């Protein structure tokens, strides 16, 4: 039976059970186009769909712009592997609540490198969730045949973010006036 109200990405996810990563305390789920629209609304409709407790998350203007101008169009592009373009939500199993998000910034480049970005909601900081989530995303990336390394950039003032990368064996290889650049080689 063909479902006309489901996007091809939604159908792809319903057929293939690769739609999440599970760690000890977390579920990390890639959001479909429809779910991203609900995410942007921040009205708990996404939480309702995912059967999660309501959250009081807010979306920064920078993330909202990235979602509307880059992430949503890339997820809608059927020529792209949406798993490298979408936002992955991080869910605490114990709290049954979204605690943060991460994403890869596009498919692997010619050298097999992908970039990772992430953010944790304020009330869930300093609990090790992001370190665990980044580790889960690394484990996922290690299973992808075209991925050879993961790149990340942190503001020099963001010590917590640098510590997340250090704990996940990223190596700082470059710095600018405001940023540290990090890389993890996938073996």
Note the pLDDT tens digit of each residue in 73-100.
999 999 999 899 999 999 999 999 999 9
Whether residue 2 is contained in a domain is answered as no
Whether residue 177 is contained in a domain is answered as yes
Whether residue 142 is contained in a domain is answered as yes
Q: Please count the structural domains in the chain.
A: 1
Whether residue 59 is contained in a domain is answered as yes
Encoding tokens for residue 57?
């998350």
Distances (CA, A) of 186 to 21, 53, 154: 18, 36, 20
pLDDT band of residue 1 (cuts 50, 70, 90) is very low
Q: Distance between CA 14 and CA 28 in Å, rounded?
A: 16
pLDDT(21) > 60:
yes
Select from 24, 45, 36, 148 the least CA-distant residue to 103: 36
pLDDT band of residue 23 (cuts 50, 70, 90) is very high
pLDDT(2) > 90:
no
Sole residue written with tokens 């090790």: 128
Note the pLDDT tens digit of each residue in 152-171.
999 999 999 999 999 999 99
Whether residue 155 is contained in a domain is answered as yes
Q: Which residues contact 143 (CB under 8 A, 6 or more apart)?
A: none
Domain that holds residue 50: 8-185
Whether residue 130 is contained in a domain is answered as yes
pLDDT(43) > 80:
yes
Encoding tokens for residue 169?
């064996």
Please report, for the domain that includes residue 166, its CATH number.
3.40.630.30
Sole residue written with tokens 């996940």: 168
Q: Answer for the pair 26, 92: CB distance below 8 angstroms, yes or no.
A: yes
Check residue 19 and give its pLDDT.
63
Sole residue written with tokens 């020099």: 156
**Residue 73, H or E segment:** helix 72-76
Q: Answer for the pair 49, 43: CB distance below 8 angstroms, yes or no.
A: no
């Amino acid at each position: 039976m063909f479902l006309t109200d489901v996007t091809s990405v939604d159908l792809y996810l319903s057929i293939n059970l690769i739609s999440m990563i599970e760690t000890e305390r977390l579920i990390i789920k890639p959001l479909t186009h429809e779910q991203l629209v609900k995410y942007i609304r921040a009205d708990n409709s996404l939480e309702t769909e995912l059967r999660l407790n309501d959250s009081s998350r807010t979306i920064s203007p920078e993330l909202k712009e990235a979602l509307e101008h880059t992430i949503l169009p890339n997820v809608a592009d059927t020529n792209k592997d949406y798993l490298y373009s979408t936002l992955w939500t991080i869910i605490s199993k114990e709290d049954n609540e979204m605690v943060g998000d991460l994403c890869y910034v596009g498919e692997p480049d010619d050298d097999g490198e992908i970039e990772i970005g992430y953010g944790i909601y304020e009330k869930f900081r300093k609990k090790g969730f992001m370190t665990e989530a980044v580790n889960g995303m690394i484990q996922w990336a290690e299973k992808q045949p075209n991925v050879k390394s993961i790149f990340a950039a942190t503001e020099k003032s963001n010590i917590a973010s640098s510590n997340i990368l250090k704990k996940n064996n990223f190596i700082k290889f470059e710095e600018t006036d405001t940023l540290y650049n990090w890389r993890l080689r996938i073996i």
